[in-house]
Amino acid sequence: MSEEIEFVNDPAPGGEMTAFETWIAAVTKPNAATFEKIAAQPGATTGKAFLWAALASLITAFFGALAQSVGAGQSMEMMRQFLPPEVAREIPMGGGGGFAAGISALICGAPLGAIFGVIFFAIGVALILWVSKMFGGTAEFEKMAYVFAAIMVPVAVINAVMSLLGMIPFIGILFGLVSFAVSIYSLVLHVFATQAVTGLDTGKAAASVILPWLVVFIFLCCCLAIGIGVMGATMGEVFDQINQGLY
């Protein structure tokens, strides 16, 4: 007798998965069938997707600020070792001020960060949806946003923890590599999610996910190259003026 493969903590027939069950299923069962079931949930709405995107943005911002504060404290301690004693004594120990300032800035900027996080999330979903339709996909913004948000929250939690563990001296680089692997895994999950909600094959789904960000990456590289060129020309003129003033 064949048995159907069930989700961990799967709800009763006709029921709906909780948020936690949805997040766990999204990252532990990497296949299109998983995301088809997630997209078919009665509560798969744009509002909930945006709420989860805001939550993920807050998690990322909080732990990012925490990691930067810890890193600033470590940098201060290393700097003290190379400075003359009379100068080192003037530098606060432990980086407590930097930590407090980081938390204060986070509290003040958290709502704004969440808003921008949702905006960029919506833009990303719209771009992938647009490209998928060029390949013949049939998907709704609401469903795609929901399955993407289901991936976004647990990945944000994992990367947040990795950012803190990455501050551990000597072995922190290992957690950095784990974080990079998680990012690649997240990309794979987005391909499966796109395949599930658009009906495209794996290749077209992968192209739908990768192409928009590839275009954005190339555009940013071009802007950076132009910026460096303009800055180099400006600095060259400044140095020429300095040289003329010296002679």
**Across the 247 residues of the chain, what is the mean pLDDT of every consecutive 10-residue run?**
44 68 91 91 90 90 69 52 52 51 64 85 93 88 93 91 76 79 92 92 90 83 82 67 61
**pLDDT computed for residue 191 by the predictor:** 94
**pLDDT computed for residue 239 by the predictor:** 61
**pLDDT computed for residue 12 by the predictor:** 44
Amino acid at 96: G
**pLDDT computed for residue 80 by the predictor:** 52
Q: Crossing angle for the helix pair 202-246 and 172-198, nearest 10 degrees?
A: 130
- How far apart CA 44 and CA 112 sit, in angstroms, is 25
Are 8 and 24 spatial neighbours (Cβ–Cβ below 8 Å)?
Answer: yes
Smallest CA-to-CA distance from 49 within 136, 41, 161 is with 41
